[in-house]
Structure 1
Amino acid sequence: MFGIAERRGAVTVALSRAQGALLQVVYDEFRAGVSWPTMYQVDRAFIRLKLRGGASAVAILRGLPDGLLMRNQSRPDPIPQDEIKLTISGVARCDGGGDDVEAFLRAVRWCAKQEVRREPETGQASVRVSRKEIARAVPARLRADATRMDRLYLLLTLHHWGTVGSGRSPDGADWELSLGPEVRRFKNVRSAEEFIDARVGWCEEEERRLQTHPAAGVEQRIDDVPGPRVYVSPHVVDQLRTAPKGRWDTTKLIALAKELDACVQAGHVYASHAVLRALLDHVPPLFGQKTFSAVASSHSWGRTDSRYVGRLSTFRDQGDDALHRQISKSPDLLILDDLPQAVAVNSLLRGCAEQLRKP
């Protein structure tokens, strides 16, 4: 998954000339297009630098120290259409990146204060802040044009720092963030390194908590039961089956859930990957979204479920690997254990059942 990409010390780690040049290429393409560049774009821009040594952009990217970009754990070497995303530490290493980092930190600190001071709107479970409000918290020189605020949105939604949802207007001109209580952890961050230290410290704290007090319930211990490996909880399938029949027909959703479990229990690696990918592509309209990445980033998931669904969003790339990688001289290394944790899938399906119950 992408969420563990941050590492302490990445702001000051030593880089070769080629590594520094590659980071700069990614950042320059990011600024020029106001979106994260694809590997294809990065590769073409890197070739134009004509650096000595002959290493490809992919090879240099592979050797970059951890903590500078968001790595896809399911595919170490990105394919041409993969987006290449820098962490805030990576942005801090680039010429011209200082303003984006400062705007990011000011916005994070302001959001942390607003979460404490303000009350959620009626019917909402979190404090919401808009682009216009955040812009007022950022000095004028750091928001001189719309593109800077667009970049700020991409950076704020890249790292998980306690937001529980985000969304953009159809024309992309406006956006908002939903703030969870964990944003308070970041109220005093003054540098990219302090932000990452707070992020990593939070992750370490969560890991210790989960190891000491594992969550109860069938879904959390589903891989430990004897016999065939149960993957989709029958309790969750029952929740889908008994959900009110309204706007949505759940016939296919329930069938996909049951077939996924059957494929995993039978040990069918590629079928399992394919069915899970189909399930992820099937559910976005239920959450009012067009893509699963939007489901993961924009729906108001709880803190733990947000992490689980984020892992499923990353898995879609691995689903591409199972479905579209063509035969070659290299072996295909996918195994059943490469699937996301059962708890992540069951969290998503439980969320689907909850959506079905809403009027």
Structure 2
Amino acid sequence: MAWELATSCTNQRVVGSSQIQNEAMQIGRKEIKLNTTSRAYVDPDRINELKTISSESFDLSKLIRLCEELNICFAGECYLSMVMLTRAILDHVPPIFGSSSFQQVANNYSGAKSFKEAMQNLENSSRKISDYYLHSQIRKSESLPNVTQIDFSNNVDFLLSEVIRLLKK
């Protein structure tokens, strides 16, 4: 059933996050305790905020779609894909912060100290985990990620809120 949900969602050009949550609830998708109970990884309201931004410098359509796909993968329990999508977001947003890499954002951003520390966690921890799954070759035995291991939802939300703050007019 979860695969059917993910497949039906990916077959649509634009998928609303509230639709993902409704469909997940209808098929009996179990709620997973992150730091909050949720059927979405990226808060649908945060995605809607991104959709309202009109920027002359940055087209947010890819960032929005990456966030929507994170929710699709969360609904389908596709945790390998989720960690890879999180990494894609980190690689995608640095120009918004006037940087060429997320490492520069994490280490040099002149915003609040708490933001900097959260971004350093995203850079160090999520990148190491994604590198592990992206670059490890086949072995005799594997251990696949679970939602606890790849849960960077709070820090991703913090990152998106700062993107919104910077680009709001």
CA distance, structure 2, for counterparts of residue 278 and residue 300 of structure 1: 23
**Contact 1:232 1:257 survives alignment (8 Å):** yes
Residue 338 of structure 1: SS of its match in structure 2? Answer: coil
* Structure 2 letter corresponding to 1:344: N
Superposed displacement of residue 345, structure 1: 0.6
- CA shift in 2, pair 1:304/1:271, >3 Å: same
CA distance, structure 2, for counterparts of residue 233 and residue 309 of structure 1: 18
Corresponding residue for residue 119 of structure 2: 309
Partner of residue 254 from structure 1, selected from 41, 47, 64 = 64
Query: How many residues are matched?
Result: 136
The alignment-based identity, stated in percent, is 31
Superposed displacement of residue 258, structure 1: 1.0
* Structure 2 letter corresponding to 1:272: M
Partner of residue 276 from structure 1, selected from 86, 93, 97 = 86
Corresponding residue for residue 236 of structure 1: 46
Superposed displacement of residue 263, structure 1: 0.9
CA distance, structure 2, for counterparts of residue 303 and residue 222 of structure 1: 24
**Contact 2:122 2:152 survives alignment (8 Å):** no
Residue 328 of structure 1: SS of its match in structure 2? Answer: coil
Pick the structure with more helix per residue.
2
Q: Compute the RMSD of aligned alpha carbons.
A: 1.9
Larger radius of gyration: 1
**Contact 2:50 2:64 survives alignment (8 Å):** yes
- CA shift in 2, pair 1:246/1:275, >3 Å: same
CA distance, structure 1, for counterparts of residue 64 and residue 78 of structure 2: 19
* Structure 2 letter corresponding to 1:282: H
* Structure 2 letter corresponding to 1:225: T
* Structure 1 letter corresponding to 2:37: V
**Contact 2:118 2:155 survives alignment (8 Å):** yes
Corresponding residue for residue 224 of structure 1: 36
Question: Does residue 296 of the first structure (1) align with residue 94 of the second (2)?
Answer: no
Partner of residue 77 from structure 2, selected from 255, 259, 267 = 267
Superposed displacement of residue 352, structure 1: 1.1
Residue 289 of structure 1: SS of its match in structure 2? Answer: coil
**Contact 2:106 2:116 survives alignment (8 Å):** yes
Following superposition of structure 1 onto structure 2, how do residues 132-143 of structure 1 map, counting pairs within 5 Å?
A: none
* Structure 2 letter corresponding to 1:224: T
Following superposition of structure 1 onto structure 2, how do residues 73-222 of structure 1 map, counting pairs within 5 Å?
A: none
Q: TM-score, normalised by structure 2?
A: 0.72
CA distance, structure 1, for counterparts of residue 119 and residue 104 of structure 2: 11
Residue 337 of structure 1: SS of its match in structure 2? Answer: coil
**Contact 1:312 1:340 survives alignment (8 Å):** no
Deviations 1:209-236 (A, max 9, x none): xxxxxxxxxxxx974336x3x2111121
Question: Does residue 346 of the first structure (1) align with residue 163 of the second (2)?
Answer: no
CA distance, structure 1, for counterparts of residue 44 and residue 55 of structure 2: 19
CA distance, structure 1, for counterparts of residue 79 and residue 110 of structure 2: 32
* Structure 2 letter corresponding to 1:337: T
Q: TM-score, normalised by structure 1?
A: 0.36
CA distance, structure 2, for counterparts of residue 288 and residue 306 of structure 1: 15
CA distance, structure 2, for counterparts of residue 297 and residue 310 of structure 1: 7
Superposed displacement of residue 240, structure 1: 1.0
- Point out 4+ residue stretches in structure 1 off by more than 3 angstroms: none
Gap regions ≥5 residues in structure 1: 1-220
Corresponding residue for residue 285 of structure 1: 95
CA distance, structure 2, for counterparts of residue 321 and residue 302 of structure 1: 30
CA distance, structure 1, for counterparts of residue 46 and residue 113 of structure 2: 20
* Structure 2 letter corresponding to 1:236: R
Question: Does residue 330 of the first structure (1) align with residue 162 of the second (2)?
Answer: no
